[in-house]
Amino acid sequence: MAWHLSAQRTDYLIKNSSMALLWFDREQQQLSLNSSAEHCLTLGLTSPDNVSLALLQQHWQALLSAPTIATFLMQGDVGDTLPILHIQSQRRCSLQLTTQDAGGCLLLLTDADNEQSDKANPTQQFDRALSEISTQLIRCSAEQVDQHIVAALEAFAQCSYSDRCYVFLFDDDGEVINNSHEWAAVGVSRHAHELKGLQESDLPWFFQCLREQQQMVLNHIDSLPRAAQAEHDEFKREQIRSILCVGIFASDRMIGFVGADAVKQQRDWTHDDIRRLRLVGNVIFNTLQRHWDQQALDTAREHMQALNQRLQRQAHQDGLTGLANRRALDRCLLLELRRAARQQQALSLLLIDIDYFKAYNDYFGHLHGDQALKTVARVLQEHAQRSGDMVSRYGGEEFVIVLPATDQQQAEQLGQRLLANLRAEQIAHPASPTAQVLTISIGAHSITPEAKSAPQQLATRLLKAADDALYYAKKQGRDRYCCSRSISY
């Protein structure tokens, strides 16, 4: 999967690492390298910016079967290593491609002649481990972040001879802090499970020190001041002899801290220990920030999708009854007419009107009228549940049911059930001349459209035929079903 290494990140990795690092721009075929890499390559440069590939190949040659160093840089994959030889001094080095994106690749330069001395150097070991972990953290998924953060803590512990390393992070409100990640040596107790929900008032001196000095360096807990009695008791409970903590800050706001404990024996922390722990904190923060940003983006995207879906529903849904509205009906009717024409199937449409609904509203009021509309909508919906059936509110007290693959006889059977089931609701309607309960009148029309039929014109004629049938049902006394004759166009 392709990914992008930002210019800021590239600049940091190259200029601030004690390792020999190079960045190769594949489009420009230019190299950038830090002073360690320049010293190792002995190119005699005063500035490592914009070094040409040709200059590198004048001094060094590839030792493998690959034709040139250029081939390796232009076509290599992450993990590939190319031994190279200095043409004059015959000194050997290795180029390892550690990271790449569409624009270029990051390379680790190893001096083979000094490899053994590098292995004995803890600074080199730590920088190499942290560089590898940083690369993994940039590329890893959200599910892999925690294990790589613990690996970064372990790398620091092994370099500083610490027995326990950890990360604490504040919650979103900045009121409560939790031990989110922990590494501990074999035989050393772990406390992440119990160090949850802490407040600054639990360890006031400790947090004041972190906020004011951005770090706390304690070579021996007995050197704590009297004001730090709570801290002394907690450190003693965790069997801590020496402790080093560095604050993690974002825009001058402390969001947590990374720390290390010496448990088995007392430890005098060095400036290198502080520097390395701060590097670990920066790596962890940058990783967490990237995933927090991604989570925020995903949440925003999900929110927008839900909002769009809700707006889509509202645009095609009647607000009172929850049925499809006129806009949705028009779309559905055209779609089903085209399908009926292709498959040469019958299609029926029922146009339904509540009898004497104005009189009902005048008698009971509009709140009762709204409730009556909802009840009628429910009864209609309960009896038109096949795939493709649509019940919609046509306007006011009128409703339409579209019934695909339904002939005149099947439509009439459904219509008679609707009449009976609404009467069974026993919604009182004293103002109705037809009955003492709420009733409906139904006009229906069934067609089998030909393939050449124009859907828009056919929809208009279908609705007109159903409306004529409804008018006839009302003229015959209401509370009844009436269907015009089935014809083909």
Domain end, chosen from 312, 336, 358, is at 312
pLDDT band at 332 (very low <50, low <70, confident <90, very high): very high
- Check whether 226 has a pLDDT greater than 50: yes
Could you tell me the CA-to-CA distances from 270 to 217, 249, 344 in Å, in that order? 9, 22, 87
How much is the pLDDT for 66?
Answer: 62
Range of the domain at 160: 146-312
Mean pLDDT in residue range 178-201? 93
Say whether both 308 and 344 belong to one domain. no
Give the separation between CA 42 and CA 118, rounded to whole angstroms.
18
How high does pLDDT run on average in the chain? 86
Say whether both 371 and 461 belong to one domain. yes
Among the ranges given (79-93, 131-145, 334-348), the one the predictor scored with the smallest mean pLDDT: 131-145
Say whether both 164 and 296 belong to one domain. yes
Say whether both 113 and 165 belong to one domain. no
pLDDT band at 3 (very low <50, low <70, confident <90, very high): very low
* Higher pLDDT pick, 80 / 183: 183
How much is the pLDDT for 337?
Answer: 93
How much is the pLDDT for 117?
Answer: 46
* Backbone φ, ψ for residue 101 (5° rounding): -140, -165
Mean pLDDT in residue range 237-264? 93
How much is the pLDDT for 422?
Answer: 95
Domain assignment present for 126: no
pLDDT band at 488 (very low <50, low <70, confident <90, very high): very low
* Higher pLDDT pick, 472 / 46: 472
User: Tell me, what CATH number does 391's domain have?
Assistant: 3.30.70.270
pLDDT band at 297 (very low <50, low <70, confident <90, very high): confident
Walk across the sheet containing 60-62 and list its strands. 51-52, 30-33, 21-25, 104-111, 92-100, 81-86, 60-62
- Check whether 325 has a pLDDT greater than 90: yes
pLDDT tens digits, 107-159: 888 876 655 444 445 566 676 767 777 776 666 677 788 888 888 898 888 88
Domain assignment present for 488: no
Percent of the chain at pLDDT > 70 equals 89
Domain assignment present for 127: no
Give the separation between CA 98 and CA 76, rounded to whole angstroms.
10
Say whether both 402 and 479 belong to one domain. yes
Give the separation between CA 238 and CA 189, rounded to whole angstroms.
8
Say whether both 247 and 284 belong to one domain. yes
Contacts of 43 by beta carbon, 8 Å cutoff, 6+ apart:
51, 55, 56, 59
Domain assignment present for 345: yes
Contact between 434 and 422 under an 8 Å Cβ cutoff? The reply is: no
Contact between 89 and 62 under an 8 Å Cβ cutoff? The reply is: no
How much is the pLDDT for 8?
Answer: 59
How much is the pLDDT for 487?
Answer: 37
